[in-house]
Structure formats: C-alpha cells, structure tokens
Structure 1
Amino acid sequence: MENREIAQQVIEAVGGKGNIRSVAHCATRLRVMVADEGAIDKERIENLDKVKGAFFNSGQYQIIFGTGTVNKIYEEVLQLGVGEQPKDEAAARPQEGNVFKRTIRTFGDVFVPIIPVLVATGLFMGLRGLLTQPEILGLFGLSPEAINANFLLYTQVLTDTAFAFLPALVAWSTFRVFGGSPVIGIVLGLMLVSPSLPNAYEVAAGSAEAIMLFDFIPIVGYQGTVLPAFISGIIGAKLEKKLHKIVPETFDLLVTPFVTLLIMSVLSLMLIGPVFHSFENVVLNATEWILALPFGLAGLIIGGLNQVIVVTGVHHIFNFLEVQLLTNTGSNPFNAIITCGMAAQGGATLAVGLKTKSKKLKALAFPSALSALLGITEPAIFGVNLRYVRPFFMGLIGGGVGGFLSNMMGLSGTGMSITVIPGILLYLNEQLIPYIFINLVAIGVGFILTYLFGFKDEQLEGM
C-alpha cells in the first residue's frame, strides 16, 4: 500500500477531516488531535499497513509508524488537506489529562526540536574521545602531545557550542511552542549567556565572581542551564502576545519587541535566573544521589522501569535531567542504564518473532526488534510486547538486569538521545567493551525469558 493511500485511510479512520483539529509528529508517531475520540475506528487503524500500534493519550491519537516512515505519512496527510499544528501550539492543544501530563507534554514539545543538535554534539564528544585516546593514536605512531592545538580547538567548537548556548535554543523553542516570536526568544536566550556577564563555569570553578545585586542577588551567565530559559520563554511569549493585543498596530513593530526584551531581560537575570538555577542544582544533586545508590540499585530500578515510563508518554522529562548531567558533570550515566531497558525490549520482541508461526506477526516483530536495537522502542512495545503483555514484562526484567550491571560498572556516556547500537558512538573509549556487554546481557535476558516463558502462539487466539 502506498503512503498516500495509507494517509487517506488514516484520515478516514480517525473520523475524517472534520474530526481532526491538527496533526503533528515526533520521531516515531503521527500525533492526531481529534475532537471526538469515539469517532475513531481503532481496529481499522491498527490493521493498516506500516502501522505498528496506536493509542489515545490526553487528547492525542498517536499512531506508531516508526522512524522515517512517519515523516512520509505526515507529509502525505498534509498534502491531503489536513492542517498541521498551529503556531501557538500551547493554546491549540486540548486540555485533557491532568496538570502533570500536560506539563510533561509541553516540556517534550519544547525539547524534541532541540534534541538533534544535542545528539550531534554527543557524537562529536565520542569521536573526540576516540581520536585523542593514546591507544588509538599509537596505531598511527602518534602521542597526545603530537595533536595539533588548532585541531583540538576545532573539536572544542564542535563539542562546546550547543551546551554553551543551550539557553538560546531552549528560549527559541519555548517561544515557538507558546506562540511568541522565536527570534525574540533567541535574543533573550543569548542575553542569558552574554559574554558581558561572569561565565557560570568560571564562577563555579572560583576563577570569576558573580555580580552581587543589592548585595544578595547573584548575577551570572547561565551557560548550560535549561529552566531559567524555559520559564523566561513561557513568560516572555505570553507577554509578547499580550502586548500585540494592546499596542496600536502603528507602533507594534517598534514597541512590542523592545518592551518584551527589556522586561524579560530584567526578570530573567535578576529573578527567574537565580531562583530556577538554584532549583536546577537541587534536581541535579537529587539525580546524582539516586545514581550513586549502592549495590546497583539505581540501575536496577531505572533500567527496569524506564520503558513503563515510555508507555505513559512522560519520558521527555528525562531530557532535562540528561542535559543537566552533561553540562555539569561532562558525562551521562543515565544513558547507559536506559539503553538496557530498550535493548531488552528488542530482545523480547525478537523472541516473539522467532517463536511465532504467524507470518503477519513475524513481519511485525522483526522490524520492530530492529527498531528497538536502533533506540526506538515504541513499535516493539505497542506493536508486539504490550499486545501480548508477558513479553513486555520479560523485557522489563532484562532492562533491570542490564541497568544493574551498567550501574555497578560505572558506565557513563558522552552525550544523550542515542542508545543501543547507535549509542556505541558515545562510548568510544575504555567503556566500549563493557557497553557492548551490558547490551548483550539485556537483550539475552529479555530474549530467553520471553522465548521460554513469555509467549505462545495460543495467545494469538482471540487477539
């Protein structure tokens, strides 16, 4: 079935264009905001070609197509006359779900567009770590001292830029989500890391001092921070929208950006920044405390439960934690642990595919398992494991075992947002062999438990 035909059938099955408020997509899912959930023909959707699962969550009907495919289906849906997500996404988003779910979804909307550059930065970090290893240099008859200083400077440009100017990226995306002018968000974010301010890293290292306003408010740059830019972006976007309504059109172009940046720069540097940067430090310290729990408990718990959180759709909150770990400690132990949870789900799905005699289930399970091993578990979870229940729980056990080993071995990635096979690029140092080992263990446990105890073809009856 061609993508255009699939897109047409998706539109019809969700109740037609009249039932669709807007449509968007993430890495794997087509997210359709509908007016009436009852109008959706869910059975028809799940039986469509290339659909690996679907579910309804907080006003969105999310249809899993997988990476690459979802982009093509999304484009076809738009060409068929369905409106994409409006500029003011926060205002257009239906308010179903509790406050926590809505907050996490908003956080995800802000972070998802930023993730590609953070992924690229993590890969650059991994490659720099590989190329500067004495063992690797020795293969070419070189030593660390022989590396050209200008080359090292260039690698620092590649690895430091995204995190140094992270507030500008966050403020830009937040303004976009909340209906403000993204360019104002960029400038506001750049103000937070202005070279005129004491550098946050230098202040932390003791080589610079914060500017003390009124002798008790510390003013510094906010390099590598998230929450100050996020909160400033929300308030700034709402302020700009309010000004557009009250400022006469003749003066709008001049007055609105000026007043928005003036007010928000003062608020951000003197109030929002100090308060929420302190809160960030509390969250970071709590995360580090959890990861430092003895006897591998953190790995066991996080590795075992991470994919449950993926099912709930609130896993984007961990983007914030991973960014903070990277910017403040230079490494990301969280990545290796959650990688095991993903790998184990892939192992469980692979076991289903090998054990079943159903050609249709095999055709679904094998590509879904491959997707999980590439770091995208939704097709495996929603298309196979959760559908038959026990494979999902066997995968959770595998994730817990792998996470336990990762925690005990002290694995820590150089970046974020890539896992399992692609995640190897974050461990191109002395951690490479242990990283491969924990993934093989997670896959093996998920596979063996599912093959022996987690699935029988008799479960297909009545499905």
Structure 2
Amino acid sequence: MNNKDIAIQILELVGGNENVQSVTHCATRLRIIVNDKDKIDIKGVENIDKVKGSFFNSGQYQVILGTGLVNKVYDEFIPLIDGSRRNISEDSTVKQKITFQRAIRIFGDVFVPIIPVLVATGLFMGLRGLFTQEAVLGVIGLTPDDIPQQFLMFTQILTDTAFAFLPALVAWSTFRIFGGTPILGIVLGLMLVSSVLPNAYEVGQQTAKPLVFLGFIKVVGYQGSVLPAFVTGILGSKIELFLRKRIPDSLDLILTPFLTLLTGLTLALFIIGPIFHEVEIGVLHGVEFLLNLPLGIGGLIYGSFGQLLGIFGIHHVLNFLEISMLGQDGWNYLNPIGTCGNIAQAGAVLAVAMKSTSPKMKQIAYPSALSATLGITEPAVFGVTLRLVKPFIMSMIGGGVGGFLASIFKLRASGMALTGIPGTLLYLNEQLPLYILVNLVAFGVSFGLTWTIGYQKNQELG
C-alpha cells in the first residue's frame, strides 16, 4: 500500500471530506479535527497498513504513523480535502472552547518551531565540550592551552547566539501563532535583549546593576528568559490586531507597527518583564527542588510519572522548562531523567515483540521499539504499551529506576529534544558512561518485568 492509498483510506474512515474540519501533523502523528467524532471508524483506521494506533487528544483525532511517513501521508492527504483546512487558524482556535489541554497545545505550537535551533545549539555545545576535553586532546598530543583563541570564539558564536537572542525567537513564534506580524515579534523580542539594557547574566553575577525607573521598577535585559517574551508576544499580537481593525488603511503602514512596538515594549519592560521573570524563576526553582530531593526521590518520581504527561497532552510544557533551564545556566536537568522513561518504553515494547505470537503485534511492536530508542515514543505508547496496560506500568517502573540513578549521578544535558541513542550527543563529556548505564538499567528493568509478569504471549491489542 502506497502513501496515497493510506491517505485515501484514512479520509474515508474518518467520515470523508465533509467531516474534516482541519488537519495538521507533528513528528509522528496526523492530527485531524472532525465535525462529528461518531463518524470515525477507529478500528478501521487502526487496521490500515502502517498505522500504529490512534487516539483523541485536545479535540483532535491523532493517527500515529511514525517519523518520515507522517509527512508523506500528510502531503497526500492535503490534496484530497480543501487546502484551506490544512491548518487550524487562530480565529477557529479562539472560537472553540478554551480548555486546559487546548491551552497547552497552543503553548506547544509556540515552542515546537524553536526546538530545531536549540537542538543544533545543544549539539554544538556537546561537540565543543568533547574537543576541548584534556583527555581527548591528549590523544593527539595537545592540551587545552594549545587550542587557538579564534577557534574558541568561533565555537562560542555557535553555542551562545540562540540563547542570547532567545526572546526574539519566542516573540516571533508567538506573534505567528496568535495572528500578528512575525517580523514585529522579532523586533520586539530583540528589544528585550538590546545592548542598551544591562545584560541579565551580568546582573545575575552582580557585575552589572539594573536600571531603576520611578524609584522602584528594575529594568534589565531578558537574555535566556522565555516567559516574559511569550506573554509579550501574546499581548503584542493582540495589540496589533486591535489596531489594524481601527486604523484607516491609509495610515496602517505607519501607525500600526509604530504603536505596536511602542506599547509592546513599554508593557514588556515595566510590567510584563519584572512580573513574569520572577514567575519564571519561581517555576524553575520548584522543578529544581523536585529534581534535587534527597536520595534520588525526584528522579524516581519524574522518571516514573513523566511519561503520563504525553498521554494527557501536556508534555509541551516541558519545552518551556527545558528552554528556561538552558537559558539560565546552560544545563538541562530534565533530559537525562526523561530519557530513561523513553528507553524504558523501548524495553517494554521489545519484550512484547519478542514474546508475542501475533504477526500483527510483531509488525507494530518491533518498529515501535526502535523508534523509542531514537526518542520517539508515541508509536510505542499509543500503539502497544498503553493499550495493553501492564507493559506501560512496567515501563513506568523501569523509567523510575533509571531516573532515580540519573538523579543520584546528577546527570545534566547540554541541550534538549534529543533522547535515547541520539541523546548521547548531549553527553559528550565525563557523563557519557553514566548516561549509557542509567539507560541500560531502565531498558533492562522494563524489559525484564514485561517479559516475566507484564505480558502474556497470546494477549492481543485492545
């Protein structure tokens, strides 16, 4: 069955063209908003060749296809429907009832486009750490003092730029999602890190002092901050839309950008920034408190239950936390623990694949296990473990044990969005052996428990 045939069958089984309100996709899933859920033949969709499962989340019917394939099926799906329905417009999002899950989805939509840049930055950091290690340099007869200063400056540009201008990236994406003009978002975000303002890192190190307005409002740059730029982007885009509806067309080009930037920057520097920067720091301190609980308890809790975030559709909030951690001190403390949960899913699904006598089960489970080792767990979770229940519980136990060890060893990543085997690139330093160890433990515990007590070889998917 080719990709076009898959797209045609999915469209027919979700109720046809007239039942599709809009469609988009993420890394692994085709996301369809339908007019009537009762018209969907869920079992029929899940029996389509190469479909690994499906579920409802945040008002969307999500069909799991896997990385690479989902893009191809999406490209075949779009010509079959009205092209104007390929994405959810801001107007339709606003008109729908705002729920917690929908808000989280919008939150995720803002940060997902930024992640590739931060992935690349994390890899640059890892490689820089590798090539500047004394042990590695010693192999070729060099020491850290032999590295040219120009080379270090070049690598610093690669590793520091994205986080130095992080508010510009966040504000750009927020304007884009909320219907504003993205270039205004970029400029407004750049204003938050203007060289005229005291650098946030220098203020934090007490080598610079904040500007003080009206005797009590402290103003600094917001290098590495996420939440102030996010809120500024929301309000800035709303201000722009408000102005465009009221300013005459003849004056729109002049007045709308002028008033949007002026009002947005004033609110950002004197109200939004001071308030939400403190909120952001408070949230980070709360998460770090959990992760730093004694005896590895924080790692045990997050490693066990962090996998549930994806099921409830609120895992995108982790993007904000990870970006904020990297922006504040350059390290990601969630990644090593969360990775153990992903690898534990791979262990559980591989045990199912090897033990099962069902060809259909093996067809789904083996690729899902491989996908999970590469950091993509949706096929494993929604296609196998969650539907069988017990393997998912075994994976939670395995993830908890691995997370416990990661917390004990105080592992931390140099970037984000890479887990499993690709995630080793974020630990190209003295942590690499420990990173491999904790993941082998998570995999082994999950595999062993699923093989012995978590799955019967003749058990079928529900």
Pairwise same-fold verdict (TM > 0.5): yes
SS of 1:23's partner is: strand
Q: Could you list the per-position Cα deviations for residues 89-146 of structure 1 after superposition, in whole angstroms to 9, with x for gaps in the alignment?
A: 3332277676321221111010111111111111111111101000000011110000
Q: 1:85, CA displacement in angstroms?
A: 5.9
Partner of 1:329: 329
Partner of 1:341: 341
Measure the CA separation in 2 of the matches of 1:85 and 1:265: 34
Structure 2 matches for 1:3-22, cutoff 5 A?
Answer: 3-22=3-22
Measure the CA separation in 1 of the matches of 2:290 and 2:97: 29
Q: 1:240, CA displacement in angstroms?
A: 1.0
Measure the CA separation in 1 of the matches of 2:456 and 2:380: 17
Partner of 1:50: 50
**Pair 1:123-2:108 in alignment:** no
Measure the CA separation in 1 of the matches of 2:329 and 2:188: 26
Partner of 1:409: 409
Partner of 2:451: 451
Measure the CA separation in 2 of the matches of 1:139 and 1:326: 31
Q: 1:365, CA displacement in angstroms?
A: 0.5
> Structure 2: which 5+ residue stretches go unaligned?
none
Partner of 2:193: 193
**Pair 1:34-2:34 in alignment:** yes
Query: Is the 1:78–1:84 contact (alpha carbons within 8 Å) kept by the matching residues of 2?
Result: no
SS of 1:75's partner is: helix
Query: Is the 2:358–2:458 contact (alpha carbons within 8 Å) kept by the matching residues of 1?
Result: no
Q: 1:87, CA displacement in angstroms?
A: 7.3
Partner of 2:390: 390
Partner of 1:61: 61
Query: Alpha carbons of 1:62 and 1:345: their partners in 2 closer, same or farther (altered >3 Å)?
Result: same
Q: Could you list the per-position Cα deviations for residues 399-422 of structure 1 after superposition, in whole angstroms to 9, with x for gaps in the alignment?
A: 000000100111111111100100
> Structure 1: which 5+ residue stretches go unaligned?
none
Partner of 1:422: 422
**Pair 1:147-2:133 in alignment:** no
Query: TM-score, normalising length from structure 1?
Result: 0.97
Partner of 2:372: 372
Query: Alpha carbons of 1:97 and 1:398: their partners in 2 closer, same or farther (altered >3 Å)?
Result: farther
Partner of 1:295: 295
Partner of 1:240: 240
SS of 1:382's partner is: helix
SS of 2:334's partner is: helix
Measure the CA separation in 1 of the matches of 2:31 and 2:82: 12
Measure the CA separation in 1 of the matches of 2:236 and 2:13: 39
Measure the CA separation in 1 of the matches of 2:244 and 2:82: 28
SS of 1:218's partner is: strand
Query: Is the 1:166–1:223 contact (alpha carbons within 8 Å) kept by the matching residues of 2?
Result: yes
Partner of 2:138: 138
Q: CA RMSD in A?
A: 1.5
Query: Alpha carbons of 1:88 and 1:442: their partners in 2 closer, same or farther (altered >3 Å)?
Result: closer
Partner of 1:169: 169
Q: Could you list the per-position Cα deviations for residues 195-247 of structure 1 after superposition, in whole angstroms to 9, with x for gaps in the alignment?
A: 11111111111111111010111111100111111101111111111111111
Query: TM-score, normalising length from structure 2?
Result: 0.97
Query: Is the 2:122–2:414 contact (alpha carbons within 8 Å) kept by the matching residues of 1?
Result: yes
Partner of 1:271: 271
Query: Is the 1:87–1:177 contact (alpha carbons within 8 Å) kept by the matching residues of 2?
Result: no
Q: Could you list the per-position Cα deviations for residues 253-277 of structure 1 after superposition, in whole angstroms to 9, with x for gaps in the alignment?
A: 2221111111101111111111101
Query: Alpha carbons of 1:364 and 1:82: their partners in 2 closer, same or farther (altered >3 Å)?
Result: farther
Amino acid at match of 2:174: T
Measure the CA separation in 1 of the matches of 2:82 and 2:392: 35
Query: Is the 1:228–1:272 contact (alpha carbons within 8 Å) kept by the matching residues of 2?
Result: yes
SS of 2:113's partner is: coil
Measure the CA separation in 2 of the matches of 1:387 and 1:145: 56
Amino acid at match of 2:213: L
SS of 1:458's partner is: coil
Measure the CA separation in 1 of the matches of 2:91 and 2:134: 54
Partner of 1:308: 308
Query: Is the 1:402–1:442 contact (alpha carbons within 8 Å) kept by the matching residues of 2?
Result: yes
Q: Which moved more, 1:76-85 or 1:340-349?
A: 76-85
Query: Is the 1:391–1:455 contact (alpha carbons within 8 Å) kept by the matching residues of 2?
Result: yes
Amino acid at match of 2:395: G
Q: Could you list the per-position Cα deviations for residues 23-52 of structure 1 after superposition, in whole angstroms to 9, with x for gaps in the alignment?
A: 111111111111111111111111112211
Query: Is the 1:336–1:411 contact (alpha carbons within 8 Å) kept by the matching residues of 2?
Result: yes
Q: Which moved more, 1:85-94 or 1:267-276?
A: 85-94
Q: Which moved more, 1:397-406 or 1:95-104?
A: 95-104
Measure the CA separation in 1 of the matches of 2:128 and 2:84: 39
Measure the CA separation in 2 of the matches of 1:309 and 1:96: 23
SS of 1:113's partner is: helix
Count of residue pairs brought into register by the alignment: 462
